[in-house]
Amino acid sequence: MAEGRIIKAISGFYYVKSDGEVHQCRGRGVFRKKNITPLVGDFVVFDKNNPDEGYVMEVKPRKNELIRPPVANIDQAIIVSSATMPDFNPLLLDRFLVLIESKGIKPIIFVTKKDIISESQRQFIDDYVREYQQIGYEVELLSSKENLNELSKLESYFSNNVSVIAGQSGVGKSSFLNAINPLLQLKTDDISKSLGRGKHTTRHVELVEVGDGLVADTPGFSTLDFNEIEANELDECFPEINELKPYCKFRGCMHNKEPKCAVKQAVEKDEISNKRYEHYISFLNEINSRKPRY
């Protein structure tokens, strides 16, 4: 038996890296009976007696996992949004942030294509960048074609980390990974202008080496759901709201219709972004209106 990490999963095959070598493996049949699905990023025990095809025998406990994208044992999530083509979408960005925060994973925000927007668009983006930085998020504005100085700065984010890259299709995830490590040659495609979004060019999940770290290159997503988040957990996914909730009059305050709510008071004083609060209420209503699970 040997131990390693799954770095790629395609069509029922798991590619396990161990001691610098990659082994093609299948999962044990008992996994299906026990409802165990190995994920990219999992640490596993595998049988490598057969040099052509091994078997994953055990999946080690995970520190975290995501469903979209399906990756485990992540140190940080880099959420990529574009300034244009497709247009910057704060609501979608906040959906990603909520999902990442709910897993206890550190989010980092990259906004791409800053070099191809107008001055008014740049002001709009800069306002949002300052807003997210004030909350405490790390934010980087990137060009569509990075220079060497910018690439060196980005590499520091990846060093000694396992990162997941998430974001809407067409925002430039594969493009900037290729720029940092040209050997990757990840497939990219042009924006479908008629749809206003990118064509899906990434077909599987794989951990690739970028800047002395590992990065999950994943398909882009245009929607996210909150099926794993309960209504009373949502405020924990908004750092600025979570910070103020101890000062609300009522324990368990949902920051919606309750009186003497510290969060609503902060919104009225412009201490919390009204847009972020509107997104919180929208997400809260969405969670409350979903069908109960049995």
The 3-state DSSP class for residue 110 equals strand
H helices within the chain, ranges in order? 29-33, 90-102, 119-135, 148-158, 173-180, 239-244, 262-268, 274-289
DSSP string, 64-101: -EETTTTEES-SEEEEEEESTTTTP-HHHHHHHHHHHH
From CA 72, how far away is CA 105, in angstroms rounded?
Answer: 11
Q: What is the pLDDT of residue 190?
A: 37
Amino acid at 35: N
Residue 81's beta-bridge partner residues? Answer: 111
Annotated binding site for GTP: 112-115, 167-175
Annotated binding site for Zn(2+): 248, 253, 255, 261
Query: Tens place of pLDDT for every residue, the chain, 294 residues?
Result: 899 999 999 888 999 999 889 999 988 877 877 888 899 999 999 998 777 788 899 999 999 988 767 889 999 988 888 888 888 899 999 999 999 999 989 999 999 888 888 888 999 999 999 999 999 999 998 886 656 566 667 788 888 999 888 777 666 666 667 776 665 655 544 333 333 334 444 457 788 888 788 988 655 454 478 888 999 999 999 999 999 999 999 999 999 999 999 999 999 999 999 999 999 999 999 999 987 665
Q: How is residue 141 written in tokens?
A: 């504005």
Q: Taking a C-beta distance cutoff of 8 angstroms, is the pair 159, 212 a contact?
A: yes
End-to-end CA distance of the chain: 40
Annotated binding site: 112-115, 167-175, 248, 253, 255, 261
Q: What is the pLDDT of residue 275?
A: 96
From CA 76, how far away is CA 108, in angstroms rounded?
Answer: 7
pTM to 2 decimal places: 0.81
Phi then psi dihedrals of residue 262, to 5 deg: -65, -30
Q: What is the pLDDT of residue 219?
A: 56
